[in-house]
Every structure is written in structure tokens, then in C-alpha cells.
Amino acid sequence: MKIYLDGKFVDDAEAKVSVFDHGLLYGDGVFEGIRLYGGNIFRLDEHLERLEYSAKAILLTLPLSRKELAWATAETCRQNGLTDAYIRLVVTRGVGDLGLAPWSCPKPTVFIIASKISLYPKEYYENGLAIVTVPTRRINPAALPPAIKSLNYMNNILGKIEAKQFGALEAIMLNDQGYVAECTADNVFTIHKGVIYTPSASQGALKGITRGTIFDIAQEIGVPIQEVNMTRYDIWCADECFLTGTGAEVIPVAKLDGREIGTGKPGPITHRVLASFRRRVLVEGERI
């Protein structure tokens, strides 16, 4: 496997960063998870725009332009002969000293990995996930804006650990007011009486690229969609529920906290959303 690392393509065994890199020491950096479908990098420009916004928010100057990052991302896929893959683009603060100060890091580190990913077995896309609500709360937006896709994922990791302890593959995370924010790695959507609902970013949800695609799909298929303050009750009593994410794509949810959602099976609107999404991934983006 070839890894892009600071302007060079190196074998994975040689792809190394310093122990003094602040991305490792403090989670100081930003990243994007991107998908390649049939030789098409899905919504690459949107991913790179979000990377730029995340970097600007933490005062990290990207060492490459958007065009250069796009080329490096596509070339990483080409170097590995991939047509379908998960791509991880990471920019760290770079090598510095043991202090917190980012100004001790003169040069950011950039690396890109393109490989395979399979978050959930096929049967869950057909039958739906059974998920739970975990005790760990989503970080308050005043402490860390959810729009920043930073390398510090400990909050999400704790939620993922708790989900596993409860026997679930994914979990709902609430904010400090008790409203649904998102899942540990996915955005959440419900459908009730023909309307699609999702928590707003102000409640702690990441503005996911796949999440944004759902708004376009809703318009295409003629289903109203709204951002709302969502509680667990709203999910328990929904007709349908599904999660979205770059890795997860669009996956139905059959149960939350032991309660069946709707019929306990993926519903008709979820099926329409999923069908539209699978069409779009092959045409919306950049060909490698």
C-alpha cells in the first residue's frame, strides 16, 4: 500500500510521523473521511471545503491548496489501483515541543490513506441496526464547535465503548440539554408522518457530507425535511429511522433502547433515500 506523506508516496511500512507531532500528542489537527465509488471520489470538493473550514477554525494553515489536495487524494487512489475505497485525509499541526503551544510547530504534517472499509455487515443494511442511548454526552458546542472535524475523538470513542458494553454497534449521544445530537460516528434521521427530521448542528451534530446529501435527496424524491430539537421519544415513536456517514453510508435503524421503530424493519422512505444515494455516489464528485 502506498501512503501520501508530505509530498511523497511511501510504502505503508515507511509511513511514519514523529512522536513529537502535535496530532499525536494532543489531537491537534483536522481530517476528512472520503469515499471512492467506481472510480469517483464522492463530493470531494465539499470534503476539502470542510477541511479548510475546520483548519481555519483552529488557526491551522493548510500547506496545500484545494487543487493540490484534490490531486494528492486522487493520486493516492491511483497509486494503489483502487476504484472503491475509504480515504482518510489528515492534516496535523506538525512536529513541535512537548508544550501545548501550536506556534512551536513550524510545518503541518499531511498524509492520505486509501484503503477498504466495512463498518457494518450486509444484513444490517437489509434488516436495520439495534442501537442504544449512551450516558456520555456530546461536547457542548461552546466548548468545541461540532463543525470542526478535529483529531480529538475521545468523546465519540467513549460513546462507542459504551455502545459495545450494551451490545450495540452504534449509539445515540445526547447533548447537555438532553436533546439528540448525533451518533458516535453517524448523523441520525427519523421519518414521521411523511416528513424527514434530523437534529440541527447547533445541538452538537457534525455537518456531515452524507447528511447534506440527504437534504438534496429529500428534495429530489419530494419528501419534506426539517432540522429540529429531537428527543429519544421522537425516535422511539418515529415511523422510520436511519443513520448516515461516510463510512456507514445510509443504514436503517430498527430499534432504539429495546423499542422497535415503526414496524421494526426498514421503511419505504428509507428505501427510496438509500436507492437515490447509491445512484448519486457514482456521478457526484471527481473521477480519478
Catalytic residue check, 149: yes
H helix intervals, the chain? 22-26, 44-57, 66-79, 122-127, 154-165, 209-221, 232-236, 268-280
Q: Are 198 and 212 in contact (CB under 8 A)?
A: no
Q: Nearest to residue 53, comparing CAs of 157, 178, 148, 136?
A: 148
Indicate the SS3 state at residue 200: coil
- Torsion, Cα 220 223 227 230, to 10 degrees, reads -140
Within 13 Å and on the Cβ side, how many CA atoms surround 94? 15
**For residue 126, is it left (φ>0), alpha (ψ between -120 and 50) or beta?**
alpha
Distances (CA, A) of 109 to 71, 75, 154, 170: 17, 18, 21, 31
Indicate the SS3 state at residue 213: helix
Q: Which residues contact 145 (CB under 8 A, 6 or more apart)?
A: 57
Q: Among the options 67, 122, 149, 164, which is catalytic?
A: 149
Catalytic residues: 149
